[in-house]
Amino acid sequence: MEEKMTNSQEQIEKIAEQNFLNWVKLLDTKDPKQVAELYSGDTTFLPTLSSEFKKGQEGAEEYFEHFLKKDPTGEIIDEAVQPLGEDTYLHSGMYNFEVGPSEERSTVEARFTYVWKRNEDNKWEIIHHHSSLKPE
């Protein structure tokens, strides 16, 4: 019988940090397909700057085709990571994005929730992502 390794809180926080940094790094590629590959085939996605409910990698790719044109860079301001099982965790908090051309950059303050799950290939993927503008 194969034993599953369980992650400590510290380990899952490091995994969450690495997964977020990888997500931001893929934003830098400006390739919506590469970003969408982080999302599962049946992901659900409520994006920050869209009123649409996106589903699957195709929905994520469609959103990032437009979002990446804004040249986003993101950083987490406050966060919490909660394990939801051996291969799943919830990552939520507040993040800021700088968007727009270099001479007209503006800050988008938002809150986020990601649910990440390790797939059968042992890769982490986003199964749910909700991001919304921070209320005044």
Tens digits of per-residue pLDDT, 21-31? 999 999 999 99
Please tell me whether residue 129 adopts helix, strand or coil conformation: strand
Q: How far is CA 35 from CA 23, 24, 125, in A?
A: 7, 9, 11
Tens digits of per-residue pLDDT, 72-118? 999 999 999 999 988 999 999 999 999 999 889 999 999 999 999 99
Q: What angle do CA 92, 33, 95 make, to 5 degrees?
A: 25
What pLDDT, on a 0 to 100 scale, did the predictor assign at position 6?
A: 56
In sequence order, the 6+-apart residues with CB closer than 8 A to the CB of 124 are 15, 19, 116, 117, 118
CA nearest to 127, candidates 84, 96, 69, 93: 84
Least confident window among 5-9, 81-85, 123-127: 5-9
Instruction: Evaluate whether the domain defined by 9-133 bears CATH number 3.10.450.50.
Output: yes
At residue 61, does pLDDT exceed 50?
A: yes
Dist. CA 31–CA 3, nearest whole Å: 38
Residue 136 pLDDT level (bands cut at 50, 70, 90): confident
**Largest pairwise CA distance in the chain:** 59
**Tokens encoding 47:** 């994006």
DSSP per position, 45-105: EE-TT-SS-EEHHHHHHHHHHHHGGG--EEEEEEEEEEEEETTEEEEEEEEEEEES-GGG-
**Tokens encoding 50:** 């869209």
